Amino acid sequence: MSKFKTLLKNFLKWRYKHISNKTFVHILSVLVGFLAGLVSVTLKNVTYLIEAVLEKGIIISENSLYFILPVIGLSLVFVYVKFIGKKPMEHAISSILFSLSKNKGMLIAKKIYTPLITAPLTVGFGGSVGLLGPAVESGAALSSNLGKLVRIDAKTRSLLIACASAGAIASIFQSPIAAIIFAVEVFSIDLTMLSVLPLLLASISGVLTSYFFLGNENLFSFSLTEGFALNDTIFYILLGLGTGLASIYFTKMYFAILKVFDRAKSRTLKLVLGGIAIGIMLYFIPPLYGEGFGFINDLLDGEHLKALGKTPFDTFLDNIWVVIALLFGITLFKAIAMTTTFAAGGAGGVFIPTMVMGSALGNVVGKIINNSGFGFSVNESNFTLIGMAGLIAGVIHAPLTAIFLIAEITGGYQLFVPLMITASISYLITKNTLDYTIYTKELAETGALLTHNKDQAVLTLMQLDDVIETNFKAVSPEMTLGEMVHSSVCKSKRNLFPVLDEEKKLLGVVLLDDIREFMFDTTRYENTKVDDLMHAAPEYVFYESDSMKSVMKKFKDSGAWNLPVIKNGKYAGFISKSKLLTAYRQQLIEYSR
């Protein structure tokens, strides 16, 4: 280890002398893109290997008991988390966003390999989630720890995390442009010349890694046969309305199911309940099994019977309305199956289930139009594609990512106009109904969410610990005025004195202005106590719950220059308005560089 440290130290010295910071960041972005691409390829291959082994095994081929496999996968994840990981799993994208806003882009090394184990076990055994989130998380952890190793600053480390996400998406979908846009929309990266080139390099590196290991293998085997027809505009508007409502349903269902499972305190109970629920859903709706790329491809090929698989309703599938009903069932239950997988302890992502749900809804809308009896005819494959874009735009609040992703992975640039129509309508409906997404709701509630609003972003990046001042002389309520003057006032450079009890709880404050008139009247030294002089602070800052934004608001509303901080119910210090504004200006300068 000491030899490695010596080599690293010598390398860093050489780097500072011969490579500029800008060039070094570009080199790192290529490396990060490659590593994220490698992680994505590994995730896909391990997951597909597990699926292939199970598909050829006795469980599926002979007994058709595949619906019990998610329980086995979730149990294996449970064992890993309890005895090896020893830490509850977090939502991949949310944990990255939190690290960017509150932990200076630092992610623990364990996040590099944990997703590579838990996600394939979850998805490979049929958990109804995706691999994109774990791929981004593992790549982000790699880039974060690499940045720490080569001693780059927090802002550059955050940029490299965004590069890792771009590399992972470019590798999985082979869509470099959408990968860059995702990093900008989801991670709130400012698209400047300083950031766009590293993102571009990482995206290229990620997609080349995918091509090298997987060849030109595309996720979706689709060839566009019909472009945009002006007469279909109204139908794309209707699809936008439908995907907008479905996005709201998806998001609300996600939080509702998690809330139900939170009532079960035991992780074992969550596993049992979730496993049973998933098994029941898979028995009646087999396409909910796993990620669902096969399902999407079958719909794009017009093979809806193959997409539905073997179900208890096979004898009724000659009726197109039964098919439509089953596909709509997938639209409804994909969100439930996905969230149940998470709640039961599974690992995975939201992005790909969103695409599956959107493909089903788009196909349903196309089939209803074609079978309505009014003589309309639309291309159902196109509606399948555009339905995916509508759900991504609504659920993730990333309309540009949705448009470019679907256009790139299908070569369907002729559908750019309907993609824009549906994605924008879906996004507007969802954004005006739900302020936050699955990724961002909890972060926003705690004031830990970065946005493209520069003032808001700067406040989010600021840490409460950095502005708390503790050089105040505390006094007790029983202390006399004389004791206060001699032991605190004479020895303090501050004009404010917190009044504390024996347990360090804040009882009130005494200002120098409160005692200025009689501070030198010695006749009052013994008869006047601090308890007679103190009063409540104009407002309090609560360490556990107040964000920097709420602290700013408290200063504005109270008109105070100093506010006490309460941490775990006890006095922790004061925040001064001047200290807060100075820290804000410094952070703004750093953020704008």
pLDDT of amino acid 190: 67
Run of H or E residues at 499 = strand 496-500
Give the residue from 518, 555, 521, 549 showing the smallest Cα distance to 537.
Answer: 555
pLDDT digit string, tens, across residues 89-104:
777 888 888 787 778 8
Query: Which positions ≥6 away from 227 have C-beta within 8 Å?
Result: 414, 415
pLDDT of amino acid 28: 95
The CA distance from 265 to 288, in Å, is: 27
Q: Beta strand pairing status for 541-542 and 562-567? A: parallel
pLDDT digit string, tens, across residues 121-138:
999 988 899 999 999 999
The CA distance from 183 to 401, in Å, is: 9
pLDDT at residue 488 greater than cutoff 90: no
pLDDT of amino acid 326: 93
The CA distance from 324 to 543, in Å, is: 53
pLDDT of amino acid 371: 94
The CA distance from 141 to 584, in Å, is: 28
pLDDT of amino acid 14: 87
78-82, 228-232, 234-238, 495-499: lowest mean pLDDT where? 228-232
Between 387 and 408, the more confident residue is 387
pLDDT interval class at 160 (50, 70, 90): very high
Question: Stretch 328-345: mean pLDDT, rounded?
Answer: 93
The CA distance from 163 to 224, in Å, is: 31
pLDDT interval class at 453 (50, 70, 90): low
pLDDT of amino acid 446: 63
Between 36 and 65, the more confident residue is 36
Between 525 and 66, the more confident residue is 525
Query: Which positions ≥6 away from 333 have C-beta within 8 Å?
Result: 281, 285, 288
Between 593 and 488, the more confident residue is 488
pTM of the model: 0.81
Identity (one letter) of the amino acid at 353? P
The CA distance from 422 to 232, in Å, is: 12
Give the residue from 35, 593, 111, 42 showing the smallest Cα distance to 27.
Answer: 35
Phi, psi of 567 (to 5 degrees): -125, 120
Phi, psi of 562 (to 5 degrees): -140, 135
pLDDT of amino acid 193: 67
Give the residue from 457, 388, 459, 389 showing the smallest Cα distance to 420.
Answer: 389
pLDDT at residue 438 greater than cutoff 80: yes
The CA distance from 509 to 424, in Å, is: 54
pLDDT at residue 222 greater than cutoff 80: no
Quick one: tokens of 224?
A: 């566009």
pLDDT over 90 percentage in the chain:
47
pLDDT of amino acid 58: 46
Give the residue from 204, 59, 185 showing the smallest Cα distance to 124.
Answer: 59
175-184, 339-348, 437-446: lowest mean pLDDT where? 437-446
The CA distance from 106 to 90, in Å, is: 15
pLDDT interval class at 353 (50, 70, 90): very high
pLDDT over 70 percentage in the chain:
92
Are 169 and 136 in contact by the 8 Å Cβ rule? The answer is: yes
Neighbour count for residue 267 (Cβ, 10 Å): 14
Q: Which domains are delineated in the chain?
A: 2-214 (1.10.3080.10), 230-445 (1.10.3080.10), 456-592 (3.10.580.10)
Quick one: tokens of 5?
A: 């440290």
The CA distance from 201 to 163, in Å, is: 8
pLDDT of amino acid 462: 78
pLDDT interval class at 61 (50, 70, 90): very low
What rounded mean pLDDT belongs to the chain? 87
Neighbour count for residue 250 (Cβ, 10 Å): 27
pLDDT at residue 62 greater than cutoff 50: no
Are 390 and 240 in contact by the 8 Å Cβ rule? The answer is: yes
pLDDT of amino acid 24: 93
The CA distance from 303 to 55, in Å, is: 21
pLDDT digit string, tens, across residues 364-391:
999 999 998 888 999 999 999 999 999 9
pLDDT at residue 454 greater than cutoff 60: no
pLDDT digit string, tens, across residues 280-320:
888 888 889 888 888 999 998 889 988 888 877 888 888 99
The CA distance from 431 to 421, in Å, is: 15
180-194, 436-450, 455-469: lowest mean pLDDT where? 436-450
Q: Beta strand pairing status for 468-469 and 541-542? A: unpaired
Q: Beta strand pairing status for 496-500 and 506-511? A: antiparallel
Give the residue from 588, 561, 375 showing the smallest Cα distance to 462.
Answer: 588
pLDDT interval class at 435 (50, 70, 90): confident
The CA distance from 328 to 390, in Å, is: 16
pLDDT interval class at 63 (50, 70, 90): very low
Residue position matching structure tokens 């049992």: 272
Q: Is 169 exposed, middle or buried (0-12, 13-18, 19+ CB in 10 A)?
A: buried
The CA distance from 353 to 350, in Å, is: 6
